[in-house]
């Protein structure tokens, strides 16, 4: 009988340890979920900021290109050359 009581006591102790470990892991899991959500929010904010910076950079680049008349003229020349090449290709294919 004493042996059975000892076994029951040992099992009870192990069950309490498992319950305590489960509670501890549940709390840790909840904490990690909260940290993950904070990280997701931060990532979203940083992505938005990055997109805003990219847009700002694009605007600045366009403004600089428009301010530099040589670049505009060179761009027009390149476009004219490309249109000419396309027209030649169309003429060749039409024949």
Confidence of residue 68 (pLDDT cuts 50, 70, 90): low
User: What does the pLDDT look like over 36-47, one tens digit per residue?
Assistant: 999 999 999 999
Both tokens of residue 75? 């761009």
User: What does the pLDDT look like over 26-37, one tens digit per residue?
Assistant: 999 999 999 999
Residue 71 near residue 65, CB atoms below 8 Å:
yes
* Residues in contact with 72: Cβ distance below 8 Å, sequence separation at least 6, in sequence order: 65, 66
Provide the residue ranges of all domains of the chain, joining segments of one domain with +.
Answer: 2-68
User: Is the pTM higher than 0.75?
Assistant: no
Residue 72 near residue 65, CB atoms below 8 Å:
yes
User: What is the residue whose two structure tokens read 């900021």?
Assistant: 49
């Amino acid at each position: 009988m004493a042996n059975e009581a000892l076994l029951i006591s040992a099992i009870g102790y192990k069950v309490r340890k498992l319950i305590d470990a489960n509670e501890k892991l549940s709390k840790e899991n909840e904490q990690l979920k909260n940290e993950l959500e904070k990280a997701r929010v931060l990532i979203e904010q940083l992505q938005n900021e990055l997109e805003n910076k990219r847009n700002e950079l694009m605007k600045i680049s366009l403004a600089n290109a428009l301010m530099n008349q040589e670049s505009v003229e060179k761009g027009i020349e390149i476009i004219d050359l490309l249109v000419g090449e396309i027209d030649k290709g169309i003429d060749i294919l039409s024949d």
